[in-house]
A and B are shown apart, each in its own frame.
Chain A
Amino acid sequence: MAPHDPHTHAHDHDHEHSDVPSDLALRVKALESLLVEKGLVDPAAMDEVIDYFERRVGPRNGARVVARAWSDPTYKARLLSDATSAIAELGYSGRQGEHMVVVENTAAMHNLIVCTLCSCYPWPVLGLPPAWYKSAAYRSRAVIDPRGVIAEFGLALPENIEVRVWDSTAELRYLVLPERPAGTASLNEEQLADLVTRDAMIGTARVAAP
Chain B
Amino acid sequence: MADFAALPGLPAGPDGPVFAEPWQAQAFALAVRLSAEGAFTWPEWAATLADVLKQAEARDEPDDGSHYYEHWLVALERLVTAKGLVAPAELHARKHAWEAAYHATPHGQPVELGPT
**Interface residues, chain A, CB within 8 Å of chain B?**
7-8, 11, 14, 16-22, 24-35, 38, 40-42, 45-47, 49-50, 53-54, 95-98, 117-120, 127-128, 130-138, 140-141, 144-145, 148-149, 152, 169-171
- CB-CB < 8 A to B95: which residues of A? 26-27, 29-30
Q: Tell me whether A28 and B23 are in contact in the complex, defined as CB-CB below 8 angstroms, given that A49-B28, A131-B66, A137-B62 are known contacts.
A: yes
Determine whether the beta carbon of A170 is less than 8 Å from that of B46: yes
- CB-CB < 8 A to B85: which residues of A? 35, 38, 40
- CB-CB < 8 A to B12: which residues of A? 132
- Contact mask for chain B residues 56-87; partner A; CB cutoff 8 A; 1 contact, 0 none: 01000011111011100100110010000110
On chain B, the number of residues with a Cβ less than 8 Å from chain A's Cβ atoms is: 73
- CB-CB < 8 A to B43: which residues of A? 169-171
Q: Tell me whether A20 and B99 are in contact in the complex, defined as CB-CB below 8 angstroms, given that A34-B91, A50-B26 are known contacts.
A: yes
Select one of A8, A14, A28 contacting B73, CB under 8 A.
Answer: A28
Chain A residue at smallest Cβ distance from B20:
A131
How many angstroms from the CA of A22 to the CA of B95 in the assembled complex? Answer: 11
- CB-CB < 8 A to A96: which residues of B? 32, 35, 42
- CB-CB < 8 A to B32: which residues of A? 49, 95-96
Nearest chain A CB to B109 CB, angstrom units? 7
How many angstroms from the CA of A154 to the CA of B105 in the assembled complex? Answer: 52
Determine whether the beta carbon of B86 is less than 8 Å from that of A14: no
Determine whether the beta carbon of B107 is less than 8 Å from that of A40: no
- CB-CB < 8 A to B62: which residues of A? 135-137
Determine whether the beta carbon of A145 is less than 8 Å from that of B18: no
Determine whether the beta carbon of B65 is less than 8 Å from that of A128: no
Name 12 A/B residue pairs within 8 A (Cβ), A-sorted. A16-B107, A26-B95, A26-B99, A28-B27, A31-B86, A32-B30, A97-B42, A118-B53, A130-B65, A136-B8, A137-B62, A138-B10
Determine whether the beta carbon of B73 is less than 8 Å from that of A35: no
Select one of B19, B68, B96 contacting A134, CB under 8 A.
Answer: B68
Is B115's beta carbon under 8 Å from chain A?
no
Determine whether the beta carbon of A50 is less than 8 Å from that of B98: no
How many angstroms from the CA of A140 to the CA of B64 in the assembled complex? Answer: 12
Q: Tell me whether A40 and B37 are in contact in the complex, defined as CB-CB below 8 angstroms, given that A50-B28, A169-B46 are known contacts.
A: yes
Chain B residue at smallest Cβ distance from A145:
B4
The 4 A-B pairs with the shortest beta carbon distances in the complex, nearest first, are: A131-B65, A170-B46, A136-B62, A117-B50
How many angstroms from the CA of A54 to the CA of B70 in the assembled complex? Answer: 19
Chain B residue at smallest Cβ distance from A10:
B103
- CB-CB < 8 A to A134: which residues of B? 63, 65, 68
